[in-house]
Amino acid sequence: MNTECVLCFQRQALEAVRMAGASDATESGTIAAVMRSLLDIPWDARPPLMAQAVHSLVRLRLGGIDPYARIKQEDNEHARVLYTTLQSLVASSPDPLRTAVGIAILGNSMDAAPAHARDGRADVVSAVDTPLAIDHTPALSAALSSASRVLVLADNAGEIFCDRLLIETIRTLYGDKDVVVGVKGGPILNDATEADAVAAGIDRLPGCTLAYVSNGEAGTGLARESPSFRAYLDTFDVVMAKGQGNYEMLSDESDVFFLFKVKCPLVARHAGVPVGSLVCGRAV
């Protein structure tokens, strides 16, 4: 974690309480509580762990309201409308896996966390022509060709429709696979939960099941920082992790393929690519 992250978490908390339509008193009280909590959290923690603590506190101060519920619904509906177009892009592509990967990464533009976020939802249709700054899709293709069990760690609502398209493309190109999609077991930011996976039809895909990743609260699933989670990853032949948060948590896992758009200068420096880059990389 970098001290720049602290400012980002304060901004996220402010945006969240305003999206919830909180009163001025609730807004000021929540931000003060978040600032106090940031002083207590070890600053050497990975940013997603700090995000879990901050947003759990925000939800608590808001009386359990999920401030991102409306945005998630809007992004799901937007992606649903785009879905037929995206399917056509993959079907007509000379390299369907590369196109489906590009769409899955550009779907990551639907993100409510970074300050510049929400300006790129329609840009997902440019996936065919957008180069990847790090492109390990040939290695991904080779791994998928011999895999029987595949894990996709989802990121956001809306974007999860792009994940569905990627899963369908993998099964078309490489045959039947047992595919597990990891979603958050409780709300945090606009991360995909079971409800979003169901909205995207993930639960109805042949051979596809859901697993639950913790949002930092008890009973919501496996914690990504836990030894149990790392052991769980080892039960899969291929692991694809979507979004910056999964990269920040798991970038020391050399067998994971990371699919994300770089939105943060700190992540850009770590990955060695410019902000705005698209990445499909293993051990980047």
CA angle 18, 19, 20 (to 5 degrees): 85
Q: What is the mean pLDDT of residues 243-269?
A: 94
CA separation (Å) from 202 to 137, 160, 256?
23, 8, 21
Strands in 278-282's sheet, in edge-to-edge order, are: 134-135, 278-282, 256-261, 238-242, 149-153, 178-184, 208-213
Query: Do the Cβ atoms of 53 and 67 come closer than 8 Å?
Result: no
∠ CA 106-117-123, rounded to 5°: 35
Supply 91's token pair: 């079907």
**pLDDT tens digits for range 174-196:** 999 999 999 999 999 999 999 99
What confidence tens digit (pLDDT) does each residue in 194-232 have?
999 999 999 999 999 999 999 999 999 999 999 999 999
Q: What is the pLDDT of residues 126-143, one digit of tens each?
A: 666 789 999 999 999 999
What does the pLDDT read at residue 119? 45
